[in-house]
Structures are given as structure tokens and as C-alpha cells.
Structure 1
């Protein structure tokens, strides 16, 4: 980068805060959301996953991915969860809590932080692509589930990760990957959603340019970047005004902890990605497509379009829910995942276990 170009970029970046503040205020006003004073999750232990067995999977390009697992190593089925943009594996907190009890020793669950997120390592900005995330998922599977059937669960960008994996590794379906869930996701760029308008903000492109060519200076403008995108993410996360304040605080902490380079690079990746070819592969296996009908980031039209393309899919639209539907209405998503596993598992062992547990619970 030449001295002149760098000077020009820095001069432009000086105005980012003003642009960002204006965009942030506008977004906050147009997407204002209230939370309830009552808090059913006030005493929830949102650090549950930190106590699970931990592993580090190193990708071929040297990025350490933080992994947690729960359930027997010799379980008949492994379910692998890929989280969404600006989140961490903890975004599946309620699934980990409920489904551990539901599935018992029949299922092992694997969770991991995507590159640049949570406890996983940061990476060169040019690797923050949906294609790379599909390759990272393959690295996790190679280490954590080298044998036996697998069901993949992706939320938001994690759903795009699953589609990317399906496109790049079609030979794994249905021989190893026997089912998949795409929650609040999209097969191609999200430019048609309200997020698309925010992506046109020059502040974000300036920060992204700085992350690539002047990384030592970009941290000065991280507040501006969060001002642009933060109100959108927060307002779009939940649809119901009665959402628990503790759940909101938990998700907002994950977003706030995401490095600014991760934020702006993956925002761009979400805008330009096209993993529709992965749908062809997923036609081979039972799928779950789920979303909230108040999702502003990946509107339900995206899910409806994917469901049409997948004849073995179940489409679940959660009334009143926003983008973080698995945190907002976990029971509906949990039940749908149980049905997916039962449809995907030829042995019916999981279905039998569920019936026994339900019988005990009903007569208890």
C-alpha cells in the first residue's frame, strides 16, 4: 500500500465515527426492541459448555479451533454444531442442555468456535470466507468424528458452513453425513435482507480495507464499526419483546467479544457467498430448515426457498422469533432436531430411547 493511499485511507477513516454513529442511531430507532422485566433465565449457567471435554483442532493453514464435546466417545451418532456470525459455540447453550438429557448415551455432540470467533485463533483476513469455513468443518470432522454417522447443525453463517461443506465434499453424503439442519440461514448472499443496506455503508468498507492493508491502525476505529453493525445485530436477534434479559446479555457479549476484523471480513463474505450448489448434495439426506418469521438478517423467504429445493426437508417457521431463534425459542428447535435425528438414523436407537424417556417422564 503506497504512502499516498494509506494517507487517503486514514483521512477517510477519520470520518467513519460520524458515519457510523448516524447509521447506528437510525438502525436503533427503526428496529427498537424491548425486553421483559421478568427473567426466567436469571440463574442460567451460560458457561455450561466450558466444562465439557475440550480439544483443539488445528486446520491445515495453522488456525487452532476450540472444540467441546459431550456424550460417549462410542455413541452411535455424532451431531456437530456450527455457530453463526459474531457468535460462539455457546449460542447452542439450550440445545446442549436439553439434548444431552434427551439423547443420553445414544448421541455425542460436538461444538466448536469458527475461526476468528470465541476461543479459536484469528487468521489472515483473506481466509475469512464461507468456502474456508466449509474446509474448517471438514478438519473438525476428520479429528472429532473419523467414523460413524454424523448429523450437521448450522445456525446463520454456520448453516452456510454446512452448505459449503456439502458442496466441497459431496462424497461424504450420505455415507458419513446422514442429516443436516440449516437454522436461520441462506444459500446465497444476504444482500436482499435489511442487512444488505447496512453492507453498503462506506464505513464498513473503509474498516475492511484497513484490516487488510493497515492492520495496526484499524483497531482505532473498532468502535465505529460496532456502531454501524451493532444496533442491527442486537435489534434483529430477537422478535419477541418478552425475551429474557439474561439471554439478551449473553448473546450481546458474544457479539461484543468478536474482533472487528472478523466482523467486517465475514460481513463481506455473507454478502457475496453463493453455496446453492450445496443444496444439490443435501438432497441426499433428511434436512431441517428452521427460522423465525421476524428474522431481519436472513428473512424466512430464504428458508422457504431452500425447503423447496430439498424434498427431504422439514420446514419449521417459528412465529414471532428473530434471528437467534435457537436461543429465543429453544424448545421448538430442540424438538425439530430430535425429529431430524430420528429421520436420519436408520438404527432407530435414538427414537427408542426417546420413547422410553417420554414414557418415564409421563408416568413419573
Structure 2
């Protein structure tokens, strides 16, 4: 055990000695005007309004599972000078308070998004969702299809899925993946009962978490910035295990393929890393097939956290979407556009 601990510390130490291009990046430090939005069930959701108040379009960012609004750091940094931005923490994530509730469903998140839009968006908007945030947008489309095309001018679905996540391989052989899916729900349920103890162990296991996230969360694990890995790991670690366990069944049972048709009425962009094993490329291709007018961007050399790993490619596709949505809504685009067709690479 001691030898393993020393080897782990040695490996992490060597990684941290390498040049780190993101060392001076103020990750998680960008702030906007704080706002509190009360959901229909009384839950208080934390949000921030940033960027140009006079912009013709508002961009609403919906973060993914175990993350928070700071996961949009590079998008906020690069778009705040041209657009009005709304970023929010999904219930029990980030700065939104931990609420002991059994309603940790994707449909509930869709209703929360509706409240965010009603309260903080005065005019036309574009919705951007990563992973669970993309599912949140699909749930909104299922509940409020009349908003799309009128109030909502565009949608970006990043590293997400319309459903069947319980069938993905997780990068494992088929039989092993099937076994993992069979035992995971029970294991999560058991660990949830000891959530406080699990959280304490997570606090002391930073080196292990660092190495695991570096390899599982990023495609280019050898060159990814240690500062960026630490940033993501801190977001995940700050999410209580009970919250992780409560939302897990919702993700596995999520099925909103039928709601995708609503998005045919708006400008849509679909983005995914070519090495994403959590929401595989095939799921994004399936969405692109269901939405033939959508612009599909498969980002090479990136995994599930594509908006952090290859922000230039994601931001170029977002600018293209925003330019199209502004033109569709009769508003003047706030930023310079770049083509989002086909395969994009980070610059």
C-alpha cells in the first residue's frame, strides 16, 4: 500500500512539473451579476447574468452532470463581449442549494430551465447544453414545444444524448460493459446511504481522482493541463455523492428522442468529441440524422469535456450558430462568425 501511494504521488508530481499552458488562466474566477430564480416547487436556483445587456440575443448555458456553471469558462470568456449570457447551476449542483428531494428527474430540470428563461431572458435566446444540460433542453422541448422558433431561436447540444445511455459500452468489451450496467445501480444505491462517508473519502483521494479524471475525462491525457484537470476535479468533488446517486437513474432512463423533432424549427448545432465514451459519437450522429438541418461538428482529439478540452472548436461552432440564430430572428449578430460545418479542430 505504501509503495502504491508513493508511486501515485511520484506520477502526479512528474505530471505537475511539465509546462502548463493554462496555469495563468483564471478558471472559475469569472463572475457576472448574481440572481436567484425560484422554481415552481420552491427550489431556489443560482444563476449569473453576464455580458452585454443591450445584446439582441441572450445565450443560456446549461451545464452537465456533477459540474456547475463555471464549466462554461472559455465560452463565457470569449462571448461575454458580444452577447448577453445567462449561466445557471442546476438544482443541487454548484451554488444552487442542496435540496433533499426525490424529484431529480430530467423533466424536472426542463421545468427549472423554463423558470430561468421566464425570469432572466427578456427577448429571443439561444440555449446551449452540455451532457445533462443538453438533456435538460430536450425536456424543455418536450414540455414547451411552442417556445421553439418563437422565443428560442437556436439550440446547441454538446456531448449529450437523446437516450439509451444504459446501453453504452463505456469503452469496455460488450460483456464487461453489460455486467457494469447491471451492478452499477445497486452499487450507487448502497453508496448513497453512506454518502457522507463517501464524500470524506473523496476529499482525501485527490491524487487518485486527478489521475483517473486525466485519463477518463480528456482524450489527450498526456498533454492536458494539470490546472484544467484540477479545476474539473474540484467541481466534481464539490458535488455531494448523494446528488450524484439521485441523478444517476434519471440519466440512465432518459429518453427524449421524440422531442428532437421540435428542434427542426430552430437553428441547431450538435457537437461531440470523437473520443467521447460517456455520450458516444453515435448518439450525436443519431441526433444529427433526426435533425437534417442541424450543423454537426465532430471535434477530433477530444472527449466528453470538449468545451474545456477544445474550446476554440466549440466557440467557433457557437459563433456560427449565434450568427444564424440572430439572422433568423431579425437581429444583428453580436460576434464574428466561423463555419461550424463538418469536422472542427481546436486552434
Q: Do Structure 1 and Structure 2 share a fold, with TM-score over 0.5?
A: yes
Per-residue CA distance 1:200-247 (angstroms, 9 max, x = gap): 335x53543674xx6xx54224467999x9676553311013111111
Q: Does 1:118 align with 2:94?
A: yes
What secondary structure is seen at the aligned counterpart in 1 of 2:336? helix
Determine the C-alpha separation between the residues in 1 that align with 2:133 and 2:276. 16
Unaligned runs of 5+ in 2: 1-14, 171-176, 338-347
1:214-293 matches, within 5 Å, as 217-222=194-199, 235-240=215-220, 241-293=222-274
Determine the C-alpha separation between the residues in 1 that align with 2:164 and 2:238. 25
Residue equivalent to 2:42: 62
Check conservation: 2:39, 2:45, Cα contact below 8 A: yes
What secondary structure is seen at the aligned counterpart in 1 of 2:55? coil
Residue equivalent to 1:167: 142
The alpha carbon displacement at 1:306 in A equals 0.3
The alpha carbon displacement at 1:74 in A equals 3.5
Check conservation: 1:179, 1:286, Cα contact below 8 A: yes
Per-residue CA distance 1:27-62 (angstroms, 9 max, x = gap): xxxxxxx7892211101111333x311101111112
Unaligned runs of 5+ in 1: 1-33, 356-364
Give the alignment partner of residue 95 of structure 1, picking from 68, 75, 81: 75
Check conservation: 1:207, 1:221, Cα contact below 8 A: no
Q: Which has the higher helix share?
A: 1
Determine the C-alpha separation between the residues in 2 that align with 1:89 and 1:44. 17
Alignment CA distance shift 1:117-1:72 (3 Å): same
Q: Does 1:354 align with 2:336?
A: yes
Check conservation: 1:234, 1:252, Cα contact below 8 A: no
What secondary structure is seen at the aligned counterpart in 1 of 2:154? strand
TM norm structure 2: 0.82
What secondary structure is seen at the aligned counterpart in 1 of 2:80? helix
Determine the C-alpha separation between the residues in 1 that align with 2:187 and 2:132. 23
The alpha carbon displacement at 1:349 in A equals 1.4
Determine the C-alpha separation between the residues in 2 that align with 1:172 and 1:59. 18
Higher-RCO chain (CA-CA 8 Å, sequence separation at least 6): 1
Determine the C-alpha separation between the residues in 1 that align with 2:214 and 2:119. 34
Determine the C-alpha separation between the residues in 2 that align with 1:336 and 1:265. 33
The alpha carbon displacement at 1:120 in A equals 0.4
Alignment CA distance shift 1:277-1:111 (3 Å): same
Check conservation: 2:157, 2:270, Cα contact below 8 A: yes
When the two chains are superposed, the root-mean-square deviation of aligned CA atoms in Å is: 2.4
Per-residue CA distance 1:288-330 (angstroms, 9 max, x = gap): 1001011110111111110111122111001110100000000
Residue equivalent to 1:193: 168
Q: Does 1:317 align with 2:298?
A: yes
Alignment CA distance shift 1:234-1:189 (3 Å): farther
Aligned residues, how many? 309
1:128-139 matches, within 5 Å, as 128-139=104-115
Which moved further from structure 2: 326-335 or 38-47?
38-47
Residue equivalent to 1:336: 317
What secondary structure is seen at the aligned counterpart in 2 of 1:132? helix
Check conservation: 2:267, 2:324, Cα contact below 8 A: yes
Check conservation: 2:188, 2:245, Cα contact below 8 A: yes
Alignment CA distance shift 1:343-1:155 (3 Å): same
